[in-house]
Amino acid sequence: MTSLKSGRTNKSEPDDPTAQLLRAHVTPLPSATDTEATLARVFDSFGDCKVLLIGDGSHGTSEFYNARAALTKYMVEHHGFNIVAVEADWPDAEAVDRYVRRRPGPGPRASVQPPGEAEKAGRDPAFMRFPTWMWRNKEVQGFVEWLRHWNADKDSKAPDSVGFYGLDLYSLLTSMHEVIRYLEHVDPDMAQVARQRYEKLMTWGEDPHEYGLETLVRGFKGYEEEVVSILTDLLAKRIEYSSVHWNGDEFHSAEQNARLVVDAESYYKSMYYGRNESWNLRDTHMFQTLNLLLKHRGPTAQAIVWAHNSHVGDARATSMGGARDELNIGQLCKETYGDHAALLIGCGTYSGTVAAAHRWDSDMQVMNINPALPGSYEDLMHATGVKNFALDLRKGRCDEELRRALMRQRLQRFIGVIYRPDTELQSHYSKANLPEQFDGFIFFDESKHVGALEAHQPHTDVEYEETWPFGL
């Protein structure tokens, strides 16, 4: 095997013993129309878990979104999952949740559709922050409308109403405004206190990176004390607020926005201290948000998470954890809920097209994906000759000889919202141990880009070093 530095390793061939083992034990996905039924058959036993995390190998691949939607619909219909939590901003997802569950109470309602159509229907367009195509695409639009239809005859307070939630922490300014908006409805005096405490941090809201840099280079203390005090005061009135107004959903949203402000304030300060510190804070925030959602929805709640493979696959089985001391939401779920109650599914592709940008804040492009690097997991899967397939990787469910063969550490591709094929190895590959990283895997040999609702991107402040490799 030649040096990884050159990007050249031994290519997997059809007669490779591991490729032959894979070919013998995967379940083919014969056609688009049969995909849902096949995925349901392969992963039906995953429905007994508390948390099911479904990853994607890129943020712009249609097949990944469709597979997650198909599995999610099945788990909702047949196993009672009632939370869909995605790698997106809380306020945007909250507005979508009001739409899909027809929730009473104040607050914006948003749908995933072109702005003009949303405006005619009296709704806001959701997810207008870069990268819009990540959630503003035809695949997500179809799933959101299905979710609204599923909830049509259900009380929004009922356990079987399925909610849609965001896990990420980039909505610092919007979340501050949402806390104040909620308090204006329930306690105007408290709203004025929150406005005064948030006021100085709001001046940095359009450029939170400068806030983080200022605290590093100028000895500026920042506003941690102020934002924590708002959360503390809000929690002190939990019973008073949540028992009277809209059955607790709106209080829960306000609480989560206040928690997000606390974590985001810390996050932007941590970005300049080291890559792993900010990554760990972000994924810890996503995990804690998920944990609070499960508690909020009651003891029988079950959640499905949509996020990138880099967040979903157990970081301990990758160079993220082994070489960089990074954790992720998949690892935290395994450690907290256990190997059987938290199950992880990844998605990957060998070649095709992807919706991505050349750099942060630039317009979306449809790009050709380079064939996977020789010696990578994707290359091995391509060598099977099976175009698309699903595989249960769990011990006792996967052929033991195959599982042992897949345990050998290989390269794995990660494409975020930015794709740089000219630096493929350095920008988009990490090492992984697949059976320890995921409990299941879905592979598409040649995939296509998502059906983005718009290509032009609104301006968004650059998230310096927020992700690895690019926009995960």
Q: Using 50, 70 and 90 to split pLDDT, how confident is the model at 4?
A: very low
CB 414 within 8 A of CB 408: no
What pLDDT, on a 0 to 100 scale, did the predictor assign at position 456? 85
Using the predicted structure, report yes or no on whether residue 8 has a pLDDT greater than 90. no
Burial class (CB in 10 A: 0-12, 13-18, 19+), 13: exposed
Using the predicted structure, report yes or no on whether residue 3 has a pLDDT greater than 50. no
Chain-centroid distance, C-alpha 104: 27
pLDDT in tens, 420-451: 999 999 999 999 999 999 999 999 999 999 99
Chain-centroid distance, C-alpha 172: 18
What pLDDT, on a 0 to 100 scale, did the predictor assign at position 162? 98
pLDDT in tens, 122-135: 899 999 988 999 99
Q: Give the residue with greater pLDDT, 450 vs 204.
A: 450
Entry pTM: 0.93
Using the predicted structure, report yes or no on whether residue 2 has a pLDDT greater than 50. no
Q: Using 50, 70 and 90 to split pLDDT, how confident is the model at 274?
A: low
Residue with the two structure tokens 């006792």: 396
Pick the range with the lowest mean pLDDT from 210-214, 290-294, 434-438: 210-214
b vs e for 38-64, b when ≥16 Cβ sit within 10 Å of the residue's Cβ?
A: bbbebbeebbebbbbbbbbbbbbbbbb
Q: Using 50, 70 and 90 to split pLDDT, how confident is the model at 455?
A: confident
**What is residue 106's three-state secondary structure?**
coil
Instruction: Round to whole Å and give the CA distance between 417 and 382.
Output: 24
b vs e for 176-212, b when ≥16 Cβ sit within 10 Å of the residue's Cβ?
A: bbbbbbbbebbbeebbeebbebbeebeebbeebbebb
Q: What is the CA radius of gyration of the chain?
A: 22
Using the predicted structure, report yes or no on whether residue 240 has a pLDDT greater than 90. no
Which CA distances in Å does 127 have to 114, 230, 412?
Answer: 11, 26, 29
Using the predicted structure, report yes or no on whether residue 462 has a pLDDT greater than 60. no
Q: Pick the closest to residue 94 from 34, 184, 175 (CA basis).
A: 175
Chain-centroid distance, C-alpha 461: 20
What pLDDT, on a 0 to 100 scale, did the predictor assign at position 464? 43
What pLDDT, on a 0 to 100 scale, did the predictor assign at position 470? 54
Q: For the chain, give the number of residues.
A: 472
Q: Using 50, 70 and 90 to split pLDDT, how confident is the model at 6?
A: very low
Two structure tokens written together for 76: 């909702």
What pLDDT, on a 0 to 100 scale, did the predictor assign at position 245? 64
Using the predicted structure, report yes or no on whether residue 218 has a pLDDT greater than 80. no
Using the predicted structure, report yes or no on whether residue 384 has a pLDDT greater than 50. yes
